[in-house]
Amino acid sequence: MRKIYKIVPFATLLLSLASCTEPHVLSYDVEKPLAFVNQEKINAYSDLKTYIDRKANPDFKLGAGISLNEYTSQSLMYRVVNKNFDEITLGYEMKHGAIVQSDGKLALDNVNKLLKSAQEANVSVFGHTLCWHANQNATYLKKMIAPDVTASTGPGWDLVTEADFETDNTSNYQYNANVTASFTVAGQGANGIGRALKLNNASVRANDWQAQFFLQFSPGVKLGEKYELTMNVRSDVNASFSTQAHVTPGAYKHWDFFGTLSSTPTWTTYTKQITVSAEQVSCGAIAFNLGNTATNFYFDNITLKKYNATGSVTTVEKTAEQKKILIGGALDKWITGMVKNCALYVKAWDVVNEPMDDSKPYELKTGVGRVNMPADEFYWQDYLGKDYAVEAFRLTRKSGNSGDKLFINDYNLEYSIDKCKGLIQYVNYIESKGQKVDGIGTQMHITITSDKSKIETMFQLLAATGKLIKVSELDVAAGLTPTESDLQKQAEMYKYVVDMYTKYIPSNQRYGITVWGLTDSKSNSSWLPGQNQGLWDVNFTRKPSYSNFAEGLKLLK
């Protein structure tokens, strides 16, 4: 008790002294940096999907492009997507190349895992994509249509040379100066498959041999050998033309080699077998004399075979019709299997992707004539013809749910208005063949300097179709080293796209908008490396694009 008694007066003294001391604490007012203030404003925005007026847009889906692993591993990207978006589209893992194995079987375990994860998160999945030229298991498809190689123990026909004109290889044919040569577009070859060689003889010549087409081969023929020539041929008007035997093109030897052909505006197949005469010996070129008729001549699927009496290993090229049947079967197996597997959860599909040619925007893309084609490219249309999309829509419709929304999708529609018109024409063609196209997707991989007037025109054209319209892969590249001004322009462009979509696309035609560039790509990314295209930066910090995009979504009325 004594110790406590002594402490009390001392404490009282300290309190007394403190009460007599004036405070000298300095006060500073520090203004927040503008960048910090601006970021606070962006961060104050809610999740993107909360800004959509669901009453005015009950079917509108705000989508995100994402990889399967990012989603199924429940990464940070998974959480960002679930908070901000209604729907996901996979960049690769639902495509032919990811699913179809070397034996043609479908590997669906990863897709099914994704569908389960999305269903648990109440996020829909947009099927991307069923029929495309890229990201295909092209090795498997090409193997299906490769020539048949058989070991023959008896007599048979050996292939000497052939020309189907699907590439620009002219090593075994040529023509003289009075003939103008070109190729038809894909789909105008024999039976509507691939392309054909088109030869124009502009005027009737004094002698038929003054306009000549040559098929060359080696070695030259020998006395008594048997050969068979087969080819598809037609002409714009009825015509007939003879063949000559040449040692080499232009080195005439005999007036007849494989007889005289007749051609009409309809494709016909010409087959002629000969036994080599003394007058034809050593000849290694067939000359087709086209000078008697001023018209366009068309040649396709030329084969020259030699009879082998002793037998040998024989390579037999499949016909165009055989290839069409095989590739049609492969498309059926792929689409039917994929769509049926996903039908319980996937209610919308990108059925046909990027069909239109960039340089010829009213025509289909083709692999014909392409050199150094990537290993994963395969052009279904080169084997199935213009109706390849008709068949793709038919198979998808048959295999899915009755209410599924089926889309055709392409890029650069806001860059090439002719391509936009060409795609719309192709949609009309598909529907003229009895298949319904529910919607059109426009990818919109654009930049801060993209032509805004063309964006408006594109949306006007698409709206006029009456179809559902989906912005399917939106991102806006700001460049490798964007300034603050560039980032503001990017933000304005994101909002502009939403504004124009809202302005021109009626609410009952708005399927939705899918953002492809959620975050900026790293410098080593395979997609837009270092182009700063996202709504978030690489560290998932919101950019001005986020708030402007949100402002645009608010106006969806």
β-partners of residue 182 are: 198
pLDDT for 24: 55
What b/e readout covers 41-68, taking b as 16+ CB neighbours within 10 angstroms? ebeeeeebbebbeeeebeebbbbbbbbb
pLDDT in tens, 218-238: 999 999 999 999 999 999 999
pLDDT for 173: 96
Distance, in Å, from the CA atom of 218 to the CA atom of 379, rounded to the nearest integer, reads 32
User: Is 381:392 a contact under the CB 8 Å cutoff?
Assistant: no
Q: How confident is the model at residue 288 (pLDDT cuts 50, 70, 90)?
A: very high
Tokens of 179: 């003939």
pLDDT in tens, 126-137: 999 999 999 999
**For all residues of the chain together, what is the average pLDDT?**
93
Residue 184 belongs to some domain of the structure: yes
Residue 529 has pLDDT above 50, yes or no: yes
> Residue type for 269, please?
T
Tokens of 197: 């060689």
pLDDT for 152: 64
Instruction: Choose among 396, 327, 410: nearest CA to 364.
Output: 410
pLDDT in tens, 180-232: 999 999 999 999 999 999 999 999 999 999 999 999 999 999 999 999 999 99
Region of poorest pLDDT, from 8-12, 47-51, 379-383, 544-548: 8-12
Q: Tell me the HSE value of 231 on the side-chain side, using a 13 A CA sphere.
A: 27
CATH number at residue 278: 2.60.120.260
Residue 87 belongs to some domain of the structure: no
User: Is 90:66 a contact under the CB 8 Å cutoff?
Assistant: yes
- Percent over 90 (pLDDT), the chain: 86
Distance, in Å, from the CA atom of 254 to the CA atom of 242, rounded to the nearest integer, reads 12
pLDDT in tens, 92-127: 999 999 999 999 999 999 999 999 999 999 999 999
Residue 361 belongs to some domain of the structure: no
pLDDT for 326: 97
Region of poorest pLDDT, from 152-156, 246-250, 392-396: 152-156
pLDDT in tens, 268-281: 999 999 999 999 99
pLDDT for 154: 74
Q: Tell me the HSE value of 214 on the side-chain side, using a 13 A CA sphere.
A: 24
Residue reference for tokens 């309190």: 15
Tokens of 296: 């366009």
pLDDT in tens, 27-57: 666 788 888 899 999 999 999 999 999 999 9
pLDDT for 169: 87
- What mean pLDDT do residues 293-322 have? 90
Say which DSSP state 282 is in: T
pLDDT for 12: 45
The C-alpha angle with vertex 15 and arms to 11 and 17, in degrees rounded to 5, equals: 115
Q: E-assigned strands of 363-431?
A: 405-410
What is the enclosing helix (H) or strand (E) of 429? helix 417-432
Largest Cα–Cα distance in the chain?
144
pLDDT for 59: 95
- What mean pLDDT do residues 64-91 have? 96
Instruction: Choose among 363, 357, 383, 471: nearest CA to 426.
Output: 363
pLDDT for 553: 98
Q: What is the dihedral sign for C-alpha 178, 183, 187, 189?
A: positive
pLDDT in tens, 420-448: 999 999 999 999 999 999 999 999 999 99
Tokens of 491: 């933000």
Residue 2 has pLDDT above 50, yes or no: no
Residue 212 belongs to some domain of the structure: yes
Pairing of strands 179-183, 197-201: antiparallel
Pairing of strands 252-254, 239-246: antiparallel
Residue 300 belongs to some domain of the structure: yes
Helix count (H) and strand count (E) of the chain? 14, 23
Helix (H, G, I), strand (E, B) or coil at 489: helix
> Residue type for 377, please?
E
The C-alpha angle with vertex 191 and arms to 185 and 192, in degrees rounded to 5, equals: 30
Helix (H, G, I), strand (E, B) or coil at 152: coil
Residue 479 has pLDDT above 90, yes or no: yes
Per the structure, the count of domains in the chain is 1
Distance, in Å, from the CA atom of 444 to the CA atom of 360, rounded to the nearest integer, reads 20
pLDDT for 27: 60
Distance, in Å, from the CA atom of 106 to the CA atom of 208, rounded to the nearest integer, reads 57
Distance, in Å, from the CA atom of 269 to the CA atom of 354, rounded to the nearest integer, reads 34
Residue 293 has pLDDT above 80, yes or no: yes
* Domain region containing 287: 149-317
Tokens of 225: 């050998």
Pairing of strands 346-353, 405-410: parallel
Residue 336 belongs to some domain of the structure: no
User: Is 111:342 a contact under the CB 8 Å cutoff?
Assistant: yes
Q: How confident is the model at residue 9 (pLDDT cuts 50, 70, 90)?
A: very low
Residue 430 belongs to some domain of the structure: no
Q: How far is CA 487 from CA 479, 494, 545, in A?
A: 9, 11, 8
Sequence-distant (≥ 6) Cβ neighbours of residue 549 within 8 angstroms: 48, 491, 494, 495, 498, 515, 535
pLDDT in tens, 482-495: 999 999 999 999 99
Residue 288 belongs to some domain of the structure: yes
- Percent over 70 (pLDDT), the chain: 94
Work out the number of other CB atoms within 10 angstroms of the CB of residue 264: 13
Residue 26 has pLDDT above 60, yes or no: no
Q: How far is CA 30 from CA 27, 33, 44, 88, in A?
A: 10, 9, 22, 44
